[in-house]
Structures are given as structure tokens and as C-alpha cells.
Amino acid sequence: MKEAIRLAPEEPIGLKAILRAVETKIAKVEDIAVMATRPEEFNLPAEPIPDMAAVSTLMHEGVTCQEIMTIVNSGELPSLKLPENQWPLVQIMDKLGHSAIATQVIIQEPKLNLVTAQISQVPITVNESMDKFISTQAIGLRALLQVATQKAVNVSEVATIDKTQELFPSNPPTAEFLKIDTLFKSGVTIEEIITMGATGNLPILTAPETQKALVHLMEEQGFRATVRQV
């Protein structure tokens, strides 16, 4: 989900998720504001407590979520629109158990163009939209690289031989794993590796059909939280 926010920095996706949750009465602004007072956990660059208090007052006065978005877009309540605050706000929603709302907001964000119609004109589901995002943005590969970086281990240690053969029985990307390990040791960053992969240097690991398998692998290995941060 973090990659989705990076791709639409001008859109306050975290704020939209909060407003959606409050509007549907599954969360309270006050509870979210309390969570936001823990910058050491959510790394909020600018604590949005005063602006959240203003949102709570407005909603109690009958102002709708759409009207609040209009107010925010006009320049009021600036901390709630800061790009660097959006991911921490999404993390707060996740901590409160409302990650599904955040996922829905991301899927429906027009700037990301994830909700499209099939040839039959039947809209694709939320799960299908998320699968599309995972596939097109190399989320599986990003998760693998992030885990290797955070744990300070080789990619080939994260993706063990047994698991690799299970996921890729006909064409295991062993050589590509070793190539990534070499790149990391040379100081190449995750984004640089992703860029190299997009130009054809990692054809198996960047293939759209590979991404869900890599995500599944990371989650199965106990790195679900890292996958959600990608």
C-alpha cells in the first residue's frame, strides 16, 4: 500500500481512509487522534492533532466528509494533506483494525486507475484490482528486496531453494537472486534494482505473473507486515 501512496503523492489517501471509516461509523476521529499522538510508533512528521480536532468538530456540526475534503483541498487543515503524513495515517488505520477501508480507498483512487471495466463491462472486484496493482507495480519483488534489506540477509536466504522450486518448478530464478545479492553488495538501492528489472535485467522476478507468488512467499515466511509496507 505504501507504493500506492508514493504513486499519488498529491492525493491525501490516508485522510480519505480516515474520513471513509468515520463516515461509515466504524471508527471515531477521537480514537485516531489518540493514536496520532504516538509519533515514535507512526513517525508522523507533523502531528495533526489540532487539525483532527477541527475535523471532529466539523463532523459533529453536520459537515459531510466530502465537504471536509473540499475544505482541506482549499488549504485549510494543512497537516492532514501533507504527503509525508499519508502513510502514517494509513498505518494508524491498520493498527485500529481498519486496513480494509484503506485498501478500498487506494483501489478507488482515480489517480491510480486501478478500477477499470472488463470487456464485458463488468467492473472488476476490489481483490482483482489489488491483484492488478501487485502485478503491475512489482510489489512481490519490492517486498522480497525490502525483507532482505531489513533483515540484512541475502535474497537467496529469504527465498530458500525448496520454496523457490515449489513456486517456480519449471524456471526457478536462482540466477536472478544471486544477481540481486551481488547488486546489494555493490551498494545498489532497491529502487535502482527495480528500475534495472523494468529494463529487462530480471525478467522472471519482474514478470507480472511472478508478483503474487513472491507476495505469498513473503507472507508464508512471516513477513506479512513488511509486505503491507511496500
User: pLDDT per position in the chain (230 positions), as tens?
Assistant: 566 666 666 788 889 989 988 888 888 888 888 887 776 677 776 778 888 889 888 988 888 888 999 999 999 999 999 888 888 888 888 888 888 888 888 777 777 666 543 333 444 454 565 666 666 678 888 888 988 888 877 887 887 777 778 878 888 888 898 899 999 888 889 888 988 888 888 888 888 888 888 888 888 888 877 777 77
Number of domains in the chain: 2
Judgement on whether residues 107 and 155 belong to the same structural domain of the protein: no
pTM score:
0.55
Q: What is the 3-state secondary structure (H, E, C) of 43-66?
A: CCCCCCHHHHHHHHHHHHCCCCHH
What CA–CA distance (Å, rounded) separates 80 from 72?
7
- Predicted pLDDT at 70: 92
Q: Is residue 212 part of a domain?
A: yes
212 near 221, Cβ under 8 Å?
no
1 near 112, Cβ under 8 Å?
no
Judgement on whether residues 96 and 164 belong to the same structural domain of the protein: no
Q: Is residue 17 part of a domain?
A: yes
- Predicted pLDDT at 109: 75
Q: Is residue 120 part of a domain?
A: no
Residue 83 CB contacts under 8 Å (≥ 6 apart), including other chains? 5, 9, 10
- Predicted pLDDT at 152: 77
Q: Residue 80 carries which DSSP code?
A: G
Judgement on whether residues 167 and 208 belong to the same structural domain of the protein: yes
Judgement on whether residues 159 and 199 belong to the same structural domain of the protein: yes
Give the end of a domain, one of 77, 96, 112: 112
Q: Is residue 182 part of a domain?
A: yes
Q: Which domain holds residue 146?
A: 138-229
Residue 132 CB contacts under 8 Å (≥ 6 apart), including other chains? 114, 124
- Predicted pLDDT at 14: 87
